[in-house]
């Protein structure tokens, strides 16, 4: 397994307990159960960042801009439109509810609540709705729009125990950019927040010919 635990790079911001304590604003506690793993994904052979506890697992695997170009041009996108996605920092994303191994509990999330931080500035992820508006404005063919919609990670979801999705998530950053990601999800009756620091978008290839020395 090409993975190692790197707890120092994970800042678990807290677990906000629901109910009276949350109303009082005093219930932010540190979850010691959430762990970060980084390494090289065995299938993709590209870097991954993963958070997990006994009930959930979220893995983000870099996707090379060239992979994205190839995928979308093969599904009806023009080279120019595929390039827009390729330049948006794409990660293969897998989010699992694995609470069937303990106390089963639904897991919910909404990507619009996640925050991307780069050099002190914070922005949102680019979701299906954002892209849809863009493709409609650019009059992208409907079959291509359909393929795009279903290949992108769902903006919000409810996973029952044993459920998971696998799809592309886009962070609207240039290739090679490093960023922190605040992840928010809800399970076992409370909200969980964890920040993964130092994620890096896959770099692009330089196709400019270089003169021999």
38 vs 93, which CB is nearer to other proteins?
93
Rounded to a whole number of angstroms, the minimum distance from the CB of residue 23 to other proteins is 26
Q: What are phi and psi of 150, to 5 degrees?
A: -80, -15
Shortest distance, position 92 Cβ to other proteins, whole Å:
9
Closest CB to other proteins among residues 30, 146: 146
**Shortest distance in whole angstroms from residue 97 CB to other proteins:** 9
Q: Rule CB under 8 A: which residues touch other proteins?
A: 71, 75, 96, 98, 100-101, 142-143, 146-147, 149-151, 153-157, 159-167
What DSSP designation does 203 have? P
Shortest distance, position 207 Cβ to other proteins, whole Å: 25
H or E segment and range at residue 135: helix 128-137
Residue 107 CB, nearest approach to other proteins (Å) = 11
Reduced to 3 states, what is the DSSP secondary structure of residue 45? coil
The pair of three-digit structure tokens given for residue 81, joined into one six-digit string: 């439109």
Looking at the Cβ atoms of 6 and 163, the one nearer to other proteins is 163
C-beta closer to other proteins: residue 2 or 160: 160
Nearer residue to other proteins within complex by CB, 32 or 142: 142
Strands (E), the chain: 3-5, 10-16, 28-29, 35-40, 47-52, 56-62, 90-97, 107-110, 115-118, 121-123, 156-159, 164-170, 178-187, 190-200
Query: Residue 168: how many CB atoms within 10 A of its CB?
Result: 19
């Amino acid at each position: 397994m090409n993975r190692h635990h790197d707890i120092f790079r994970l800042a678990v911001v807290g677990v906000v307990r629901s109910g009276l304590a949350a109303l009082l604003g005093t219930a932010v506690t540190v979850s010691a159960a959430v762990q970060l793993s980084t390494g090289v994904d065995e299938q993709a052979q590209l870097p991954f960042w993963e958070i997990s506890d006994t009930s959930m697992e979220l893995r983000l695997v870099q996707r090379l801009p060239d992979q994205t170009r190839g995928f979308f041009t093969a599904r009806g996108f023009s080279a120019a439109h595929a390039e827009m996605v390729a330049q948006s920092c794409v990660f293969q994303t897998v989010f699992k509810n694995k609470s069937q191994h303990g106390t089963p509990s639904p897991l919910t999330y909404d990507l619009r609540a996640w925050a991307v931080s780069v050099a002190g500035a914070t922005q949102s992820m680019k979701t299906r709705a954002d892209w849809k508006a863009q493709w409609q404005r650019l009059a992208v063919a409907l079959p291509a729009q359909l393929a795009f919609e279903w290949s992108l990670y769902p903006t919000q979801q409810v996973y029952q125990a044993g459920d998971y999705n696998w799809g592309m998530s886009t962070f609207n950053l240039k290739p090679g950019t490093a960023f922190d990601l605040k992840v928010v999800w809800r399970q076992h009756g409370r909200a969980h927040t964890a920040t993964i620091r130092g994620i890096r978008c896959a770099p692009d290839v330089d196709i400019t010919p270089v003169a021999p020395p």
